[in-house]
Structure 1
Amino acid sequence: MDGDSQVIPDIPKGNVIFAVPKKGRLYEQCMKLLLGAGLDHIRPPRLDIAECKGLPVTLVFLPAHDIATYVGEGNVDLGITGYDVLQESGEGDNVETVMELGFGKCRLCVQAPVTSAIKDVSVLAGKRIVTSFPHLTKKFFDQFGDDKETKIKYVSGSVEAACGLGLADAVVDLVETGTTMKAAGLEVVAEVVASQTVLIANKSTPHRQLVERITRRIEGHITAERYLMISYNVSLENLSAAQAITPGKRSPTVTQLQEEGWYAVQALIEKKKSSDIMDQLSEVGATDILLFALQNSRM
């Protein structure tokens, strides 16, 4: 990383170098993730580097669209970026997609003016397409044959304005809520790739053991964010029905109570389904239903 030596000076030898987005929509979510995983750090003002406390990990803050390249070339060991950016970089064969992180979900889509009323995306082959993802766009339109050479033009921002300005017949851009797309008078014609934020690692990292330790920490935090522990009492005659409602990640923990014919059950449930699950348990005769938040976990 000679061109960026001012960004990551004097990294301690033996440290894992972990690249995270330096700004934008992913930055705040990544900071919460790192804190939850115990990767506490202090980022000095005006520097794109920070040392973690308690683990030999150096964080470097880089543009999200560069992270896949740095990881793929072995300049850094770990990185967080979008799956769309990873695929666009062409580094897919050089990095390991360690895990999906569950945030930053969006779709890379072919979008055309609503007034064009295009229902079959193949009619855009050979037309003018503006995008920030030229590699993925070319790969997508290549499926329609070499006889229709699609004219792909790269722009770094404001892709959605290209059709209105007469620069393109369609665009390939990210769709999150669709608000920007609709405001520009565009509609989705086809999906190129579904994306979310991913944790990636260089396949040849010399710090495999520490990379796996960091991964377990992140997995534990994500599990704690997504799940709750539910506890309830239920009679033997209703135990099977209750267990079917709360199967847990592997299986529920069942303990016989002193009162004959009654059991205490504990299981992990998805946080977003917790209210419905509590209702269902009540309906099959469970009592003393309690929910407990998780601080962290190792599964």
Structure 2
Amino acid sequence: MPLTKTDFITLNEAKDPQASRLLFAIPKKGRLYEHCQKLLAGADIQYHRKNRLDIALSTNQHVSLVFLPASDIPKFVGEGIVDLGITGQDMVAESGADVDEVMELGFGKCDLCVQVPIASGITDVKDLVGKRIVTSFEHLVTKYVAQLDADANKTRKQPVKTAVSFVSGSVEAACALGLADAIVDLVESGETMRAAGLTPIHTLLSSQAVLIANKKAPHPELTAKITRRIRGVILAARYVYCNYNVARAKLAEAIKITPGRKAPTVSPLENDQWVAISVMVAKDKVAEIMDQLEAIGATDILVFSITNCRA
């Protein structure tokens, strides 16, 4: 039986007799779990998780971390059993949970795709009407297929119904085993899909990890604080801090190359013909930016990593 909010509060108050803590749900395994560990460290949410325990108290914030299957987190957040959570947008959509999607986190990106055997020659989802589809996203696929059937049956004398079957794992094997004519499953790199001889013909949704919150969270100030910290970590991962010197006569050109998020910081040097510039630049463009700065005569170009920021 899943833990209830009463169970969590009882455990928390047994260890911490003061006010109940903010409950923050984290995926308990997989790639999302690994990314979340970096996110928590960057946001300075410190904790020690004992072996085989799925609840851990933060040692420096009034927060308890609850480790859950990613698919359960939207339901737990929506029902107010936990206050905050990190999961995939696909999980939120599949659950139908009524939650606030606070921010996209930029990792765990994938697409939920309709896939068919390459040998089938099927290229249009309309050709799947009346056939068999296997998926672990039963709610989303049933809703999508119902609309497909409704559209198709407008022009048919004999109504048809597409069969949707649920499996919890190894969805990609369903067609090869003769259980389905198509599957609907997540595609990240596409390697598993190609190895199974499948090809995508339609994308139901694109997904990534998101921070979600209960709409009536009882800790609004702490929720806002944790959200700001996580936003700072996400932003810091996209930028680096660039410092360089440039001739004052080239200042306008330099600012065009490094405009910053709002504006660069320009400081005078002892040599009044030169200035120092400090600015945030996109991490994925930094090499090209350095080349452009060097081309206009900038010197002492230094790049620093950013671990967290507020911008």
TM-score (norm 2): 0.91
Which of residues 234, 249, 255 in structure 2 aligns to 1:222? 234
Aligned to 2:180: 168
Q: Is the 8 A contact 1:7 1:48 kept in 2?
A: no
Aligned to 1:31: 37
| Gap runs ≥5 in structure 1 | none
Q: How many corresponding residue pairs? A: 296
Q: Are 1:73 and 2:73 counterparts?
A: no
Deviation at 1:118, TM superposition (A): 2.0
Q: Are 1:289 and 2:291 counterparts?
A: no
Give the CA RMSD over aligned residues.
1.7
Q: Is the 8 A contact 2:46 2:61 kept in 1?
A: no
AA paired with 1:10? L
AA paired with 1:120? D
In the TM superposition, what whole-angstrom CA distance separates every residue of 1:174-220 from its partner, at most 9, and x where no partner exists? 00111100110001111111111100000101111100000111112
Q: Are 1:270 and 2:282 counterparts?
A: yes
Q: Is the 8 A contact 1:245 1:280 kept in 2?
A: yes
AA paired with 2:126? S
Which of residues 139, 147, 158 in structure 1 aligns to 2:170? 158
Q: Is the 8 A contact 1:7 1:49 kept in 2?
A: no
Aligned to 2:259: 247
TM-score (norm 1): 0.94
Aligned to 1:139: 143
Q: Is the 8 A contact 2:55 2:65 kept in 1?
A: yes
Shifted more, 56-65 versus 118-127: the winner is 118-127
AA paired with 1:150? T
Q: Is the 8 A contact 1:7 1:47 kept in 2?
A: no
Q: Are 1:90 and 2:89 counterparts?
A: no
Paired with 1:152 and 1:229, the residues of 2 have a C-alpha distance of 51
Runs (4 or more) in structure 1 with deviation over 6 Å come to none
Aligned to 1:4: 3
Q: Are 1:124 and 2:123 counterparts?
A: no
Q: Is the 8 A contact 1:105 1:196 kept in 2?
A: yes
Paired with 2:295 and 2:131, the residues of 1 have a C-alpha distance of 59
Q: Is the 8 A contact 1:106 1:174 kept in 2?
A: yes
Paired with 1:145 and 1:157, the residues of 2 have a C-alpha distance of 26
Q: Is the 8 A contact 2:71 2:87 kept in 1?
A: yes
Paired with 2:253 and 2:141, the residues of 1 have a C-alpha distance of 50
Deviation at 1:87, TM superposition (A): 0.5
Q: Is the 8 A contact 1:19 1:59 kept in 2?
A: yes
Paired with 1:3 and 1:86, the residues of 2 have a C-alpha distance of 19
Aligned to 1:209: 221
| Gap runs ≥5 in structure 2 | 14-18, 154-159
In the TM superposition, what whole-angstrom CA distance separates every residue of 1:111-130 from its partner, at most 9, and x where no partner exists? 00011122222211332110
